[in-house]
Amino acid sequence: MSAIQDGYAEELAKLVYHYRGALAGDFGCEVPGKTGATWEETSQNQRKLMITATRLALLELASTRQRRSKADYFAKPGEADWGC
């Protein structure tokens, strides 16, 4: 998936990090680490973790979508319309 290779996963991870921090208080949740820390202030390991998790989630979503579209192409046993 070329979008993932082009830094899309990193950009999405940054957005999720930002919104997670912004919304945590509204849901009564504490954000681990320094409160109000920006993406750049977050440790390199934490950023790598979030980017990798995002990349894997995107790959899984793409794979699931691809399997679903292939499964929808063929009729299930007994459901084929033969046109006769």
30-51 pLDDT, tens digit per residue, is 876 656 688 999 999 999 999 9
Q: Give me the pLDDT at residue 34, please.
A: 57
Backbone angles phi, psi at 56, to 5 degrees: -65, -40
pLDDT > 70? residue 59: yes
| Residue 4 in tokens | 């993932």
pLDDT > 60? residue 23: yes
Instruction: Work out the burial of residue 6: count CB atoms within 10 Å of its CB; fewer than 13 is exposed, 13-18 middle, 19 or more buried.
Output: exposed
Cβ atoms of 40 and 17 closer than 8 Å = no
Cβ atoms of 4 and 58 closer than 8 Å = yes
pLDDT > 90? residue 12: yes
Residue with the larger pLDDT of the pair 12 and 79:
12
